[in-house]
Structure 1
Amino acid sequence: MGKKHLSIDIETKSSVDIGKAGLYRYAQSPDFGILLFAYQVDNLPVEIVDFTAGEQIPVRILNALKNPSVVKHAYNAAFEWYCLNRAGIETQLEQWRCTMMHGLYCGYTAGLDATGKAIGLPQDKQKLTTGKALIRYFCIPCKPTKRNGGRTWNLPKHAPEKWELFKEYCKQDVVTEHEILKRLNLFPVPEEEERLWQMDIKMNAFGVKVDTDLIKGALTIDSISTEKLTEEAVQITGLSNPNSPAQLLPWINSYMKDDREDTDVISDIRKETVEEMLQRREELPAKVERVLEIRQQLGKTSVKKYVAMDTAKGNDGRVRGLTQFYGANRTGRWAGRLVQLQNLPRNYLKTLDYARSLVKQNNYEGVKMLYGNVPDTLSQLIRTAFIPSDGNKFVVADFSAIEARVIAWLAGEQWVMEVFATHGKIYEATASQMFHVPLERIAKGNPEYSLRQKGKVATLALGYQGGTAALIAMGALNMGITEEELPDIVRRWRQTNPRIRDLWYTVEQAALTAMQTAQPQAIPGLIFALEGDIVYGQSFLTVQLPSGRKLFYPKPFLKENQFGKMAIHYYTVGQQTRKWEVTSTYGGKMTENIVQAIARDCLAETLRRIDAKGLQVVFHVHDEVIIDAPMETTVDEICEIMAEPIPWASGLILKGAGFENNYYMKD
């Protein structure tokens, strides 16, 4: 007899905006409550419990919620699990499975309706809009008006027909989730990934403490700074609203115009344009230069992260729900939520402690006097708003050059692996190989040291079949390298790394052959296969990684790409459009997906080991872990964990580097 399955969908109410504050803060609101509980046991019809009518969950279902031999499913199960526990209905996370995560694992999108559509369930657009409107009507507070008798919540009795409809919707979500699951079950999630998902949800529920005084101070100082900068801009320009491009553009152009010309000098004042103009300061009239500086400072959006932290923090001063498991679809990396940890500004200030204390004292003048640019200083302090629990410290460690290590290991680029096994100076060693200069000459103080920059930018930019454009994107021109030198750097790097270069073509060939013959193709460490099912007509190109996990490319097909080459095309969520659409890929791009996915699996291995030691990771960003650790935990012991060999990656040499501190920062 197989395990019993219970699919669940709940509708809840809370005055906290779930989009801005996240699930955990939403469910901690004093007015949070469960309205509806829809469920389906195995393939029986869907039932619904209406809490507003005093109905109760049947005893057999309450027992099933606690019973380890009943598997609980929901779409974004973290929501159901956390909300039920908040409402006093106890249920263990280990017994839950998340259909949304399963969809993400198979290369689909995060939304229930979007996934249903992508998977091929019949879609009713009309219904979708109505469903959203019903949630707005019953689940969030309404404005008190004379017409509605001054009430702040719409109850079932205020619109009985709407309420009946809402119940139907809740039941329909269970049906949709169940149908999606039926199709995904043919492509199971590995047990290890299920455990990682549980660890991620527990980490998100534990949360990370934020420095409330720093956040308050930053918001206060930012509003003073905005006011003063705006005042100054008004005085210089005489405009009523110098922040408005419609007013500011003509003003700048009137100052910049040459007597002989009648044309506008600039056509917009976007961030990039302002940056470019300020790079040519000497050509600008003093007034224009200052106004552009002000515009740049007022446009610092990173200060919004303080607002995001403030909104998301619970009564205990902790922010919860900062990461999304499997949020980066192709590689399975984690994605940032709420405060977007993936793009925190770097900090260069030497005196972080002092800057923090000035901000905590709301000392605008002090910050201005010492650091000059107030918004920039505040943005550098964002990382430091994350702090350890009382009596603990942060131990922060990351993998050194993990992508360079993984690609060399996967490709069998022996000389690179030897560098990592010995001195580890990959940028110097690459430059030495590329320009045939002895390694010891590439040292500070020697003329050859300038080659290190070329070795560095090449290592970072060229591993995935990139050319001169990749070097430029990695900032080669800002490093003092000229455009003329770029093709030579690409050529030399590829000659120096023949195994990595071959890997791109081997990967592409294996994927194409798997598509053409429908036979699995193995290359060292990887298996490419075309997988599908006859019942529902789904198909994927999959790549099995050394860890056993697979990467999924949904609905793949072959056709010529824009360069007239036969290429693999597949469906994905477009970066820009956020819609389900076709994209194409090639050897270098697939190599990038694979290498980043293996690096992600190395991080996952480290997270498991840290967890097994009973230590609490509060968040992780890219290849870095942040542990809320007791005082006796050392940086060395965490770095040792990161350097331990990984069973499925024999010969891959990893190294961790880290520091400890009483707030988060970029070391």
Structure 2
Amino acid sequence: MKKINIDLETFSSTNLQKSGVFKYCESKDFEILLFAYSIDNGKVIVVDLANGEIIPHEILESLTDDAVEKWAFNAMFERICLSKYLGLSAGIYLNPSSWRCTMIWSALLGLPLSFAGVGAVLGLDKQKLSEGRNLIRYFCVPCLPTKTNGGRTRNLSVHAPDKWQLFKFYNARDVETEMLIQEKLSHFPVSDDIWHEYQLDQEINDRGIGLDEVFVTSAIHLDALSKTSIFSKLVNLTGLENPNSVLQMRRWLLEHGLETESLGKQQVTVLINSNSGLLKEVLLLRQQIAKSSVKKYQAMANAVCKDSRAHGMFQYYGANRTGRFSGRLIQLHNLPQNHISDLAEARSLVRDQNFDALVLLYESTPKILSELIRTAFVPQDDKKFIVADFSAIEARMISWLAGEEWRLEVFKSGGDIYCASASQMFNVPVEKNGVNGHLRQKGKISELALGYGGSVGALTAMGALDMGLAEEELQPLVTRWRKTNPRITKLWWDIDKAVKNSVRQRIVTSSHGIKFNCKSGMLFITLLSGRELAYVKPQISPNKFNGESVTYEGV
């Protein structure tokens, strides 16, 4: 046996989407119902574990044999579920080094992260059965007790034998479909470097991150108290039955002379800054009650496992084709910053559930809870966290690629690129919190939005209008920035030309050390690191500027 393809159907009362597979498997009622497998692309066998069948000994042995490659679509799910099935102790999981994931292979090629999506794009003869979702809903999650089903809270095979046979066929079809995907993708093999990165990703997810469960529980409790208090204040101030209702609140604001189409986060911030008195007070309270960052505490409670750690926080290649990891569950990539000086004291008050002291000492309880989110993560076993970030990485890379020397000198001397950019754009000295300091913000928003070909739309999307810039200022900013950075602007057009030549002529082209290759219905861009970015079915199509653009297919 060289490889085995696996697909599982499971039951657990824990919500998989909210809690992740690690917590899902810890449920007392977790069970593997069906185990489908194929050895070395042979016939698919389905083991009906729910009805007493057993997995053959050689198959069980292969799960712990690192010489046998184990394949699955989203292989982490199968690996963690089988770790539980094999009776491994909490926090111990099957070694990921011999596991391979067809989902990762698909993501490398710019394909969707869903099984059905990949099958559809590749036009497979055998695709994931559309009935599967209903079968999973019937057998894999608890059901509501009704008179019709005799008050049961779970559907078993005996309750619908015909559905169960279809469920087994569905289980086998998933393995067949996965093998067809691998066959289709075999022209584009995955490098050992990528599988090594995937293994590291799995080890990171297996290890997890420690959580202070007492602190998390207290924060959830205090958030509920805070929301109740704010809600009561809003009812008293507005007389509304439900101040949370967008329609009711918009109507009340209109009655008080303020018309707004939206009560979204950014719009409320703008309205707060442009109003005073009762309106400002109501809007501030509305902002507090709608603060979503404190929902991360509930996400922590949902995900934390018996070892007081949250596992499965990252998805390798989750940002599709770029090679970036994306966050899952708690979303560790997107944690609020904290700026309060008495962090330890505030944290202690929350942990002790001292609501009165929090209200007395701090202007906004939701804001304090938000700023304390990072402190819910705790190093264990005398370890410590080191928090690091790349400094202006996008601006540095584009400057280096294009050879924009004046920018490289700024970075070399430890200067502030936002000030330097504003200084170049407006031909005056700009210092942070100093001379012409007000121009730094224009330099910053230009740097963030315009470095990779963006224009007025990119400035708007980056929040230029919310920062106080006028609409008529945006196009002049674009023009100034591009004039100030001629080599970067040339880089865009050089890249554009190289890509179009590759797509038109199906040849290998290059520019600035980056290679472009259009073959087998795919465009591959090889970065200087050696990583390949893949774009599905590239074509050249007319654009709204009466020119031509390269298009590709994606979700």
TM-score by length of 1: 0.77
Structure 1 residue 572: Cα displacement = 0.7
- The aligned counterpart of 1:7 is 5
Tell me which residue corresponds to 1:372: 363
Q: Which of residues 249, 272, 277 in structure 1 aligns to 2:271?
A: 277
Alignment of 1:83-94 (within 5 A): 83-88=81-86, 91-94=94-97
**C-alpha distance in structure 1 between counterparts of 2:467 and 2:15, whole Å:** 45
Structure 1 pair 166–214 and aligned structure 2 pair: CA distance change class (3 A) = same
- Structure 1 residues 489 and 366 mapped into 2: Cα distance closer, same or farther (>3 Å)? same
**CA distance 1:481–1:142, shift in 2 (3 Å):** closer
Question: 1:531 aligns to what?
Answer: 519
1:577 match: none
Aligned to 1:252: 253
- For each residue in 1:447-467, what CA deviation from the matched residue of structure 2 results, as whole angstroms up to 9, or x when unmatched? 244444444333322211223
**Contact 1:212 1:317 (C-alpha < 8 Å) held by counterparts:** yes
- Whether 1:558 and 2:540 are equivalent positions in the alignment is yes
Distance 1:244 1:346 in 2: 29
Partner residue of 2:19?
A: 21
Return closer, same or farther for 1:145/1:442 CA change in 2, 3 Å cut-off.
Answer: closer
Shift of 1:443: 4.3
1:100 aligned to 2:103?
yes
Separation in 2 of the partners of 1:210 and 1:170? 36
Partner residue in 1 for 2:174: 173
Alignment correspondent of 2:91:
none
Aligned residues, how many? 550
- Identity, in percent, stands at 45
How many angstroms does 1:178 deviate by?
Answer: 0.8
Q: For residues 337-377 of structure 1, give each alpha carbon's deviation from its aligned partner in whole angstroms, at most 9, with x where no partner exists.
A: 11123333332323222221111121222222222122222
* Alignment-derived partner of residue 142 in structure 1: 143
Whole-angstrom distance in 1 between the partners of 2:464 and 2:24: 45
The residue aligned with 1:308 is 299
CA 1:244 to 1:452, structure 2 compared with 1: closer, same or farther past 3 Å?
closer
Distance 2:385 2:333 in 1: 18
Looking at structure 2, the residues matched to 409 and 168 of structure 1 have their Cα atoms a distance apart, in angstroms, of 55
For residues 262 and 499 of structure 2, what CA distance do their matches in structure 1 show? 45
The reply to whether residue 226 of structure 1 matches residue 223 of structure 2 is no
The equivalent position to 1:49 in structure 2, one of 47, 50, 70, is 47
Residue type at the aligned position of 1:83: C
- How far is 1:475 from its partner? 4.6
Write the distance in 2 (CA, Å) between the matches of 1:292 and 1:452.
Answer: 29
- Cα deviation per residue 1:130-186 (whole Å; 9 max; x = unaligned)? 312221222223344565455443222222222111111100000111111111121
Alignment-derived partner of residue 325 in structure 1: 316
What residue in structure 2 maps to residue 568 of structure 1? 550
Q: Is the 8 A contact 1:428 1:452 kept in 2?
A: yes
Distance in 2 (alpha carbons) for counterparts of 1:43 and 1:53? 26
| Deviation of 1:251 (Å) | 3.2
Query: Which secondary structure does the structure 2 equivalent of 1:459 belong to?
Result: helix
Deviates more, 1:199-208 or 1:131-140: 131-140
Partner of 1:494: 482
**Residue number in structure 2 paired with 1:36:** 34
Give secondary structure in 2 for the equivalent of 1:8.
strand
1:389 is paired with a residue whose SS is coil
Q: Assess, with a 3 A threshold, how the Cα gap between structure 1 residues 470 and 415 changes in structure 2: closer, same or farther.
A: same
Distance in 2 of aligned mates of 1:398 and 1:268: 34
C-alpha distance in structure 1 between counterparts of 2:379 and 2:425, whole Å: 45
| 2: CA distance, partners of 1:270 / 1:480 | 17
Give the distance between the partners of 2:167 and 2:432, measured in 1 at CA: 69
Residue 501 of structure 2 corresponds to 513
How far apart in 1 are the matches of 2:126 and 2:477? 51
The CA deviation at 1:122 is 4.7
Greater displacement, 63-72 / 501-510? 63-72
Which residue type is aligned with residue 526 of structure 2?
A: Q
2:116 equivalent in structure 1: 113
Give per-residue Cα distances to partners, 1:499-534, cap 9 Å, x unaligned: 2111100110000000111111022321101121xx
2:195 maps to 1:194 = yes
Give the direction of change, closer, same or farther, for the CA distance of 1:241–1:92 in structure 2 (3 Å limit): closer
Q: Do the aligned residues in 1 keep the contact of 2:524 with 2:532 (CA within 8 Å)?
A: yes
Give me the whole-angstrom Cα distance separating, in 2, the residues matched to 1:199 and 1:244: 46
Distance 1:511 1:110 in 2: 26
Q: 1:272 to 1:213 in 2, by over 3 A?
A: same
Offset, 1:120:
1.2
Amino acid in structure 1 at the alignment position of 2:184: R
**1:290 aligned partner:** 281
* 1:405 paired residue number: 396
Report the residue type matching 1:88 in the other structure: L
Gaps of 5+ in 1: 258-264, 533-538, 574-667
- 1:68-98 alpha-carbon deviations (Å, 9 max, x no partner): 4432210001111111122117853111110
- Write 1 or 2 for the structure with the bigger share of strand: 1
* C-alpha distance 328-41 of structure 1, shift in aligned 2 (>3 A): same
Change (3 A) 1:250 1:483: closer
CA distance in 1, matches of 2:38, 2:432: 68
Q: Give the Å deviation of 1:240.
A: 2.7
Deviation at 1:444, TM superposition (A): 5.7
Question: How far did 1:330 drift?
Answer: 3.6
TM-score for the superposition, normalised by structure 2:
0.92
Alignment-derived partner of residue 523 in structure 2: 541
Query: Which of 61, 71, 74 is residue 72 of structure 2 equivalent to?
Result: 74
| Secondary structure class of the residue paired with 2:497 | helix
The change in CA–CA distance for 1:123 and 1:486 in structure 2 (over 3 A counts) is: same
